[in-house]
Structure 1
Amino acid sequence: AANSLVISEWMNWLKTEIGFDGWRFDFVKGYAPSITKVYMENTSPDFAVGEKWDSLSYGPDGKPDANQDGHRGALKDWVQAAGGAVAAFDFTTKGILQAAVQGELWRLKDSNGKPPGFIGILPQNAVTFIDNHDTGSTQRLWPFPSDKVMQGYES
């Protein structure tokens, strides 16, 4: 509890003295959502987003399964356990888009006709993206097809 207080005080100093207005919580699988909740409650940022990157479900063909409810549900569970005010990077949508732009546009709707990613179940907390420093850029752990980036933004 003492460490949380010290970190919260430092975060508030970053807001008031330096001008920060939000937070990016990295690798949130490495600590309990209750920690994020404490920081959110004690600092009241204008915006905050967490990086919860899990693997999608894949079929035997190596492509994402049509149903990614478990993946996006895990993002929803994390957001709710973290207090509900923090957003999450929509890794579900990123993975689905990567397959969809390869000629599989049917993937862009779930069985209810909604977007199949996290944005389809909790849009106010979903931060969509094509690539970031982990997935693309220099690390290239899960890069979006370079010739399809503009199509990904249009989708």
Structure 2
Amino acid sequence: MSSELERSWPAYTAVYRALTDGHVFDGESYSGTWLVCVQTEDARAEKVELGFLPPQVPCPAGGQVGNWPAVPNFVGKSGTEAKSTATRIGFPNVSSEPIVREGCDDREHLERTVCGQTPPAGQSMREHYGSTLALRVAYSRGSCTP
């Protein structure tokens, strides 16, 4: 950019906010996967406001956001299926622990049936986005009884 253009270019202040609850943040405290859904420019104040959402919350029409999605119920599904869904909606890490440890092969945890989970189904993803989903898996495939 030329120095002449730099001098004529307005020095805008950027304001970042999370559209889900409207709180202001520094723009770097959220994952780089968040999307800019709304941009509002105020030339008089030399300010631009950017409204962000995490990737699992679709950009709304007109910038109005409803609620965050709920944590799904993974009980009864395979650990592999749970992990695939969980990473798509905002759990970057999925851990699994068998109900009975004795005689378990650690490599097969995610092939087993999910018997329990933390956080529980139904809680808001707002509270858990970016955290770990912990799965309790069956001792053998398909059975949650030890």
TM-score of the two chains, using structure 2 as the length reference: 0.28
Larger radius of gyration: 2
Specify which structure has the higher proportion of helix. Answer: 1
Specify which structure has the higher proportion of strand. Answer: 2
TM-score of the two chains, using structure 1 as the length reference: 0.27
